[in-house]
Structure 1
Amino acid sequence: MKDLTLVEPRRNTFKSPKPEPSRLLAFDLITEVNRNQGYSNLLLPQALSSSNLPERDRNLVTELVYGTLRMQGRHDWVLAQISDRPWSEVDAGIVDIARMGVHQIHQMRIPDHASVSASVEVARKRLGESKASFVNALLRSVTRKSIEDWFSPLADIKDPITRLSIQYSHPEWIVSAYYDLLKDWDEVEAALSINNIAALPTLVSWPGYSTQEDLLAIGAEATKFSQLGARWKGNPGSLDLIRHRLAGVQDEGSQLVASLFAQAAPGSRWLDLCAGPGGKAALLAALAQQRSLTFTANEISVPRAELVKRVVHGARVWVGDGRDIASHNESFDAILIDAPCTGLGALRRRPEVRWRRTLQDLRELTSLQRELIDAAITVLEPNGILGYATCSPHLAETTVQVNDIIKNHPEMELVDLTPYLPDGLDGAIRGGAMALWTHRHGTDSMFLAILVKKS
């Protein structure tokens, strides 16, 4: 009789999934952002601080989360060509793991086989064997062509909006909005490209509590335009100056908004109408305290108002809708409206915003901005100034709003900010207002217009 080789039952050969903790955490965070409207810049630091991952794995999680979220439009373009079903109908978990896998294959120095196998292990753990098999098939198909072969067809796309949207992973409406402002496709490409490069943390000294020299003394590098800031290569939360609330973390563009506003502001009563989470309010409160002025911060959200209270060193904080500011029966000599906006000027810091915002959001936000402006003007003293700021360069949220202020409020007159700009800050004025661009100035794309209320 021949020897019989018995085949072991599958249940005895099955190996349980063993995903790497770093990739599992990255997938969970991406899911929370994409499916539950979480914010990556809040969730990631919290998750890393509570984990026991070594520094190398923390860096991997950071790139997987921020990088995948930034580039997922581009990754979807590849995956949609491979999938045997419409990509919009594919299970959300498969979509997010596949995006994470493509990001490792195309954007990171990780071997193809490692990118595929590590992603499949996450899929097995979180989605099950069947869906993991689909992820495996998708990613193996991606590796059969080089990145150059995948993207060479872009050269045949004649519409620059469509081509750049895919190449730089931005929705088409944002590409179009950039062109409306820049009127030059090379500049548009530069602006889109830099949105995909992570920004270093920028520290800000708070006058009366710290100086730029204090920041330089701990190894930070001075900012180019702000005399209060410095760039820091590391985790700002570990610094004593930050933990003891003697300095803050704030992009250089936001520092310039607060500094220019304070330079132009007259009188003794200042108001930050939309103060949360407190970056500009903290700097303005410190500057006001040095001048013995009264500073008030207003914020509609209770949790965000609590954040403001922590950094304004005892200044008054109101909780309420800025549109109802007149209910306090007080008037002010200088009012800053750091208006709710699309956030298109800070996409390198908030990668999911580009996918979350829509043209409908733009319409709703511009309406809210107008209502806040109207409310602020009613409590602004004669000869007082109104600062209108956004972290968006979009025409509808910037120049168009300023033109509407002048049209609807003849008593308001635009102040040319050219004399207020720091030396060397070139190409930063549009129609008398400060209009920063990340690809030109290395800051977030902040906008600030200042108008004076004629007596």
Structure 2
Amino acid sequence: MSNPPGKKFSAPRPDAPRLLAYDVLHEVNRNGGYSNLLLPKALAQSSLEDRDKGFATELVYGTLRMQGRHDWILSQASDRPWNEVDPALVDVARLGAHQLFEMRVPTHAAVSATVELGRKVLGESKASFLNAILRKISQKSLDDYVSQISSIKDGFERLEILHSHPQWIITAYMDQLGNLEEVEQLLIANNIAPRPTLVSWPGLSSQQDLLDIGATATHFSPYGAVFDGSPASLDLIISRKAGVQDEGSQLVADVFSKISQDQQSWLDLCAGPGGKAALLSALAKRDSIDFAANEISEVRAKLVSQVVQGGAVTTVDAREIDSLGKTFGAILADVPCTGLGALRRRPEVRWRRTVADLKALVILQSEIIDAAVKVLAPGGIFGYATCSPHLSETRIAVSETLRRHPDLEVVDVSPYLHQDLRSTGVDRGSMTLWTHRHGTDAMFLSVMRKKK
């Protein structure tokens, strides 16, 4: 008697937006890719309609932000430890969980479409396991899971799961803000997708030009405007008369330029990919100030060259800037950092950075600072900036700088800021922005003057 034929499966036919989202998510999570580079490129090369592009965008960025909580929910339904499950299956399951709990996708559609994706990228056996686990988690609402998480007594563990942030980052925020209630406000803000912020470049465009195309003026920066739409489609962006830059980053350039107006030469020491350099060079050109930029990465240096208005762009290691044989009246060092202040914009950073990274970065930051001070002219201005609120990269870094360089003194930035920032956006004379307070990336800027 012959054996009965095995079950026949039809060829999997996942829809294009979910397949694209999986490809990007998996590349980011498993191969160290960057979502803000990979996703726009994948979308541009696709034939997706605008609506499907929007769906894929939310699915990628949203899943990256919330995958910590998604993993906790999925682990509740898995009969094996979640950290031992195949990484590709984990990524597909995260996409399914995000549709179930964070997007307006009907339960049946979220499960069936994700399982179809699983059949394509995982195979039938793993797709069967995926189907079982998604059906199981869909039996409860997000409110049910949130209620369960909210019963966790340890505040840090509860916030870690509820708002999808590693505990070491929560602790770092706590060190600065001082209470868990405000920390939670920041975590919530980090999980809200930012609207695109445009920046005008004086001499090429104005804030009014941005308003004329339907954007809304930024509250603190005199150069910016928030735009609901795709900046890449705007003539001002295409013709490189304006750019895309977070308001907090604009304020770093704005404040630094105001304090440095009496200096005849400016250097943007760590200029890539060019946002601050573009604005600073426009302001320098307007005021007849010599401008130069430096960026160690050849690729990023090319991006800087495309947006700066005049001035040399060099590619030396910032720690060896003295090899150029020049001194400068004002130097801005927006140093490499953990990026903990821009998690809403770069969601994978929260899963990629570690305390070990912080230790190495603090050493690099101090070496860059020392190199900058070495080529700063007497009476010159030094701006130290990070897109991180971590104490080691902000207040402690400034204290250590002043200890190593007693010829530096802090310049209070308060008079150079919008009046609405002078109480909540300044700490010990330094600009200290917060996403939940100001709607910007959590940028830090300390300005110091070298004594004559």
Question: Is it true that 1:407 corresponds to 2:432 in the alignment?
Answer: no
Structure 1 position 294, deviation (Å):
0.9
CA–CA separation in structure 2 for the residues paired with 1:356 and 1:49:
26
CA–CA separation in structure 1 for the residues paired with 2:403 and 2:309:
38
Structure 1 position 83, deviation (Å):
1.5
Alignment correspondent of 1:4: none
Q: Is the 8 A contact 2:248 2:441 kept in 1?
A: yes
CA–CA separation in structure 1 for the residues paired with 2:240 and 2:145:
49
Structure 1: segments with no counterpart, 5+ residues: 1-6
Q: Is the 8 A contact 2:202 2:286 kept in 1?
A: yes
**1:137 equivalent among 115, 128, 132:** 132
Alignment correspondent of 1:427: 424
Alignment correspondent of 1:154: 149
CA–CA separation in structure 2 for the residues paired with 1:95 and 1:63:
18
**What amino acid is aligned across from residue 454 of structure 1 in structure 2?**
K
**What amino acid is aligned across from residue 194 of structure 1 in structure 2?**
A
Alignment correspondent of 1:229: 224
CA–CA separation in structure 2 for the residues paired with 1:436 and 1:126:
42
CA–CA separation in structure 1 for the residues paired with 2:140 and 2:233:
43
Question: Is it true that 1:454 corresponds to 2:451 in the alignment?
Answer: yes
CA–CA separation in structure 2 for the residues paired with 1:84 and 1:176:
32
**What amino acid is aligned across from residue 105 of structure 1 in structure 2?**
L
**2:265 equivalent among 258, 269, 275:** 269
- The residue matched to 1:19 in structure 2 has which SS? coil
**2:105 equivalent among 104, 110, 120:** 110
Question: Is it true that 1:85 corresponds to 2:80 in the alignment?
Answer: yes
**2:435 equivalent among 434, 438, 441:** 438
Structure 1 position 151, deviation (Å):
2.5
Q: Is the 8 A contact 2:201 2:278 kept in 1?
A: yes
Structure 1 position 150, deviation (Å):
2.0
Question: Is it true that 1:201 corresponds to 2:196 in the alignment?
Answer: yes
Alignment correspondent of 2:43: 48
Structure 1 position 9, deviation (Å):
4.1
Alignment correspondent of 1:119: 114
- The residue matched to 2:24 in structure 1 has which SS? helix
CA–CA separation in structure 2 for the residues paired with 1:227 and 1:421:
11
**What amino acid is aligned across from residue 225 of structure 2 in structure 1?**
A
**2:354 equivalent among 342, 355, 358:** 358
Instruction: Please say which of residues 307-316 and 221-230 is displaced more in the overlay.
Output: 307-316
CA–CA separation in structure 2 for the residues paired with 1:23 and 1:210:
39
Question: Is it true that 1:306 corresponds to 2:316 in the alignment?
Answer: no
CA–CA separation in structure 2 for the residues paired with 1:50 and 1:162:
41
Alignment correspondent of 1:34: 29
Question: Is it true that 1:60 corresponds to 2:55 in the alignment?
Answer: yes
- The residue matched to 1:344 in structure 2 has which SS? coil
Instruction: Please say which of residues 29-38 and 137-146 is displaced more in the overlay.
Output: 137-146
**2:235 equivalent among 228, 231, 240:** 240
Alignment correspondent of 1:175: 170
Aligned residues: 449
Structure 1 position 422, deviation (Å):
1.0
Instruction: Please say which of residues 91-100 and 137-146 is displaced more in the overlay.
Output: 137-146
Structure 2: segments with no counterpart, 5+ residues: none
CA–CA separation in structure 1 for the residues paired with 2:123 and 2:72:
25
Q: Is the 8 A contact 2:19 2:117 kept in 1?
A: yes
Alignment correspondent of 1:380: 376
**1:19 equivalent among 14, 19, 23:** 14
Structure 1 position 124, deviation (Å):
0.5
CA–CA separation in structure 1 for the residues paired with 2:193 and 2:146:
23
CA–CA separation in structure 1 for the residues paired with 2:49 and 2:100:
23
Q: Deviations over 1:39-87 (max 9, x none)?
A: 1111111111111111111111001100000000000111122212211
RMSD of the alignment, in Å? 1.3
Following superposition of structure 1 onto structure 2, how do residues 325-344 of structure 1 map, counting pairs within 5 Å?
325-344=321-340
CA–CA separation in structure 1 for the residues paired with 2:98 and 2:204:
43
**What amino acid is aligned across from residue 212 of structure 2 in structure 1?**
A
CA–CA separation in structure 1 for the residues paired with 2:284 and 2:436:
32
Structure 1 position 149, deviation (Å):
2.1
CA–CA separation in structure 1 for the residues paired with 2:151 and 2:223:
48
CA–CA separation in structure 1 for the residues paired with 2:86 and 2:316:
41
**What amino acid is aligned across from residue 114 of structure 2 in structure 1?**
S
Structure 1 position 156, deviation (Å):
2.5
Structure 1 position 8, deviation (Å):
8.7
Alignment correspondent of 1:392: 388
**What amino acid is aligned across from residue 164 of structure 1 in structure 2?**
L
CA–CA separation in structure 2 for the residues paired with 1:410 and 1:148:
55
Question: Is it true that 1:76 corresponds to 2:71 in the alignment?
Answer: yes
- The residue matched to 1:166 in structure 2 has which SS? helix
Instruction: Please say which of residues 48-57 and 278-287 is displaced more in the overlay.
Output: 48-57
CA–CA separation in structure 2 for the residues paired with 1:77 and 1:437:
28
Q: Deviations over 1:292-346 (max 9, x none)?
A: 1111100010000000000002321001100000011100000000010010111
Q: Deviations over 1:376-426 (max 9, x none)?
A: 000000000100000011111000000001111100001111111112224
**What amino acid is aligned across from residue 357 of structure 1 in structure 2?**
R
**What amino acid is aligned across from residue 437 of structure 1 in structure 2?**
W
In the superposition, the TM-score normalised over structure 1's length comes to 0.97
Structure 1 position 127, deviation (Å):
1.1
Q: Is the 8 A contact 2:291 2:310 kept in 1?
A: no
- The residue matched to 2:23 in structure 1 has which SS? helix
Instruction: Please say which of residues 347-356 and 423-432 is displaced more in the overlay.
Output: 423-432
CA–CA separation in structure 2 for the residues paired with 1:407 and 1:253:
28
- The residue matched to 1:158 in structure 2 has which SS? coil
**What amino acid is aligned across from residue 302 of structure 1 in structure 2?**
E
Identity of paired residues, percent? 60
